[in-house]
Amino acid sequence: MNNYYNQLTEKIKNRNARVGVIGLGYVGLPLAVELSKSDYIVYGIDLDNKKIDQLLNGDSYIMDISNEEIKYITKYFKFTPTSNFEIIKDLDAVSICVPTPLTKSQDPDISYIIAVMNELKKYMHKGLLITLESTTYPGTTEELIEQELNNQGYIVGEDYFLCFSPERIDPGNTCYNTRNTPKVLGGTTRKCTKLGVELYSSFIDTIVPVSSPKVAEMSKLLENTFRSINIAFINEMAMLSDKLGIDIWETIDAANTKPFGFMKFTPGPGIGGHCIPLDPMFLAWKAKSSNFFSRFIEAAQEINKHMPEYVYNKVSYALNTHQKPIMGSRVLLLGMAYKPDIDDLRESPGLEIYELLRNGGANVEYNDPHAHSFTDKYGEKIVSVKLEYSRLAEYDCIILITNHKAYDNNILFNYSKLIVDTRNAFKEFDDPKIVKIGVN
């Protein structure tokens, strides 16, 4: 037991450990980059051969990672992208960073983790440190990894070491990144936790050890369920303020002057990204399996899912004031990514607003300086149109979905006939052609 533990500890301390990162998406690629910069021998494993080819050519497909970084770590450090899982036979540690989406029935889809485990079991060996980073329900690490390897005769904490450490990636965040964001980590045994901390603390500034994988799994869901519920609350207050003839944005600013007991959240057209729309449902699903029904989670999900429809109704109202129906109107959506200055379209509310408007008969186009195309629900590729300020008056309505820094609000205001503002980006403009959510 101590032999494997001591050997791996020494390898990590001396940077001789060979580390694999399975899944080279928004989580895995930044992790692989940081490991490589810390002098580890790193293998990035992904079944998408297009990604592997891009990385081998020095091309990054993630905004937060530059082409120069990829070229640097492949040339001067020991980073090797591959689609061959057989390399696990030669590794000392693997971090699993595969997607965990929801099914159509809003249940956790753990098929990617299962697929990884099917490959890992083929090439499993003693002395391996395994860390799951994919967001999932409490108990996943033990149920899908520990039990599977136990069935093969491996003893956790003796033959191999197992941890869960939830990712905290925030795409486009210029302040916090993989290295300086505190990282929670829980091992199945004390030695598992110690090894996990030893590895991750060598390339991440702050590690927060917890008593078990379940606590680590729950912590990620708690973080984002907290945000989901608070966003839902302020979204509901925006709709209520609309009914009462109150400006929710002015109200929030007033409440935010209190130096204690208030945390500022702002309304919007809906929630997007891979975390806030999905993570609460992992927790709700797990709660139901324990015969517990979470009213807060269900209510928050319902409110947040309703926001694109609320925006649609706001657009209908705005066009009506100009004697225009939605049917036949030319509409331009500004911003399709789920947050400013990134290209990430996952779960973006703009996608649903686009479909609602098109189903309502509007002639809809969109512009996004970062997200250049998306596939609609019919499988058609929709491409971002060029933003020509001088031609904005050709549109009956402009809808600001995502307030990218690239947009010049002064020019938008001057050239547009009607603007529906879902982000309070035009708060300095007092003009009837500006229609904001949360304001009647």
Active site residues: 275
Do the Cβ atoms of 404 and 382 come closer than 8 Å?
no
| Unique residue bearing structure tokens 């702050």 | 206
CA separation for the pair 136, 278 (Å, rounded): 10
Sequence-ordered list of residues with C-beta below 8 angstroms from that of 132, at least 6 positions apart, any chain:
95, 96, 113, 140, 141, 145, 163, 164, 165, 213
Query: Which CB contacts under 8 angstroms, 24+ apart, belong to 292-295?
Result: none
**Which of 29, 54, 53, 57 is CA-nearest to residue 43?**
29
CA separation for the pair 307, 27 (Å, rounded): 28
CA separation for the pair 435, 424 (Å, rounded): 10
Token pair, residue 255, equals 């409440």
| Separation in Å, CA 132 to CA 27, 98, 208, 238, 306 | 12, 9, 16, 38, 33
**Which of 280, 269, 268 is CA-nearest to residue 229?**
280
The amino acid at 233: F
CA separation for the pair 221, 209 (Å, rounded): 17
Angle subtended at Cα 232 by Cα 281 and Cα 220, rounded to the nearest 5 degrees: 40
The amino acid at 288: K
